[in-house]
Structure 1
């Protein structure tokens, strides 16, 4: 870790492999909290970027040694999922909602809406219960009772629904939603949740492909010598 090292917006984007829009979305979700220069420019600490990435940050932005493993949930995918699940929860007036993605080895909580921070930390450290994970083998939405399963919070008096997130190549994870107390999901709302899960599956699959391409482009760029600065024109003062 390079304590005291600060990065500009452009440097942070190159390190994280994300666009400026995604970086600012992560800031809006309080996943990154930049400092400001006297001129008002954002600066991100190495410690913040390391926590966000889960790996050490070098002194200078460097290309990845290899493209990400297919199926891995990177920072870009997580940010897009978070941005997608929140309007869905608002549209359905849900108590809370969230998405778990599979990276081939473990479940990862990729985005939530209406879930308090302390509960997000607890859910991130575990996996959905078997009653909810069983949706991966179901043809459609699967209902569950949060008070019985303890998921996402056993104190909830709402009704839960889980839908698998699937892309053409494989299962990508699951989308869960909990209705407000005293209100069961309507059939039309279940259709909306299922459609949203299908779109998320296609979106995550595309993001995976983009992440692999970004890694390859950075590797190619690392092999290319930097362009020489243009010589000044004759007579220029």
Structure 2
């Protein structure tokens, strides 16, 4: 029986670019280059490793976003994923994490799955809640923030590391997992993979394909609202302390003023 793996990915603004907001307080994605979220690359990598160890497995990547989001899918396909699903609809503009989890859950159910793999967070919103929301909507177990992952005999297992300890976790499939940036370096797409990605199938779905209404998503259906934005303050010159025998004391006073100690 084939193991069906779904990987959720996101097309995000380049963090090194100069990002701005539009009049409706959403990120101006036309004003900065976009790319596959780096943390999602680890999810794609782990899904591919699981598929390579399985007797029969498929890896499908799915994203929600405007036309440019297809670039994130192509990157994942060039890494080795077999097919992709792009959910695109004008009414999705302004959708928050809760709405995104609804759309993803509907798409995943429609595609069919045994295992859903996500990154630990997106590099733009950085909320880290979508995997848990997905598991709740799908009604399946979640095993999150894994730095090691594997699948054996219908069970997904892995290791979660913290500052104090490491935990061994497992859940019977179907399940949702998220992986951290410590799970293993993502492979670099080869030229052959890049060329092959151009021929791999990418399905395009809209809200009607998922039996969703515009009121369920978008800014009107969002549970979270951005009320105001402000540019980051310009970087100022730091304080220079000349050590004339009291450098340590001056440093301690500075740290105390900043409430670091």
Fold conserved between structures, TM > 0.5: no
Pick the structure with more helix per residue.
1
Q: TM-score when scaled to structure 1? A: 0.29
TM-score, normalised by the number of residues in structure 2: 0.28
Higher RCO (CA < 8 A, seq sep 6+) = 2
